[in-house]
Amino acid sequence: MIYDTAQAWMEAPCKRVLFYGMSGLGKTHVSQMLRDAGGWFHYSIDYRIGTRYMGELIVDNAKAHAMQVPFLRDLLLSDSIYIGSNITFHNLAPVSTYLGKPGDPARGGMPIDEYRRRQEQFRQAEINALMDTGYFIERAGRLYGYPHFICDTGGSICEWVEGDDPDDPLLTELARHCLLVYIEGSEAHTAELIRRFDRAPKPMAYQPEFLARMWEEYLSENKCEADEVDPDAFIRRTYARALAHRQPRYERMAKWGVRVSADEVAQATDAARFDALIADAIDRRTD
């Protein structure tokens, strides 16, 4: 760890942390709190994915749909209108919309091969965005004068690393620059995330082997063909299983840094309380 004691953390002139864990446990909330407090640069992996690595894909997909409408097609071909993606830290819907859901096209689904292709695009984009962390640390200090840095990752980071591998290239690179902080949820948090997702299912990114297993299980259990799959039913079923699948992967990542609970993060309402929270986590790690 780049801060081996609580004292080293508290006295560090430049604090650098990376948050990871399930979506909905406070990663972005605490990142924005620190940014608003001043002195902290907030690097959002999802925002970087949507602007730098998948921006063109997202816009081209929107244009492809517009080209199917004669009125819009003529305007596009004559350069009379412009189609862009309005991604912000608070609105990452264009990325989710592009990833989509597999299944019956009449119910908003797409062919599984196309879905897998977009999943692979996202995997590569997320890895690239994570590998940009060191560059953004340097850029935040050189260009904007920020002494402190937060890397706010997506919930799928655990799918692309092997926490038990001491030479894992992505974790090695990230740990070289930041203190990795695992935000850990309780069973109650997990249940609430599932309930929230069930009310409003949204696209997700999955490890390819896990997705293949979930897809085959769904087809077998429901005795249906690929183009008969209810997209929302599939991702609802898969989401709860994905949380269980990811939990041990997060746990294996935890040895690369420190862990805090989602309840502790919720109580870190200012920069001073956040500093104390991380100091306590380092103390627990080193006891």
Residue 184, classed as helix, strand or coil, is strand
Q: What are the pLDDT digits (tens) for 123-164?
A: 999 999 999 999 999 999 999 999 999 999 989 999 999 999
Q: What are the pLDDT digits (tens) for 61-108?
A: 999 999 999 999 999 999 999 898 888 877 788 888 899 999 999 999
Q: What is the pLDDT of residue 287?
A: 64
The pTM (predicted TM-score) of the whole model is: 0.93
Q: How confident is the model at residue 170 (pLDDT cuts 50, 70, 90)?
A: very high
Share of the chain above pLDDT 90, in %: 83
Q: What is the pLDDT of residue 104?
A: 97
Please provide the distance, in angstroms rounded to a whole number, between the alpha carbons at the two ends of the chain: 15
Average of pLDDT values for 237-252? 94
Q: Which two tokens mark 185?
A: 């949820």
The per-residue pLDDT of the chain, averaged, comes to 93
Q: What is the pLDDT of residue 201?
A: 78
Average of pLDDT values for 7-33? 93
Cβ contacts of 282 within 8 Å, gap of 6 or more: 1, 3, 4, 5, 6, 9, 258
In the predicted model, is pLDDT for residue 176 greater than 80?
yes
**C-alpha span between 203 and 93 (Å, rounded):** 10
In the predicted model, is pLDDT for residue 26 greater than 90?
no
CB 42 within 8 A of CB 34: yes
Higher pLDDT: 85 or 254? It is 254
**C-alpha span between 112 and 229 (Å, rounded):** 10
Q: What is the pLDDT of residue 88?
A: 80
Please give the angle made by the CA atoms of 38, 42 and 162, to the nearest 5 degrees: 140
Average of pLDDT values for 192-202? 85
CB 104 within 8 A of CB 231: yes
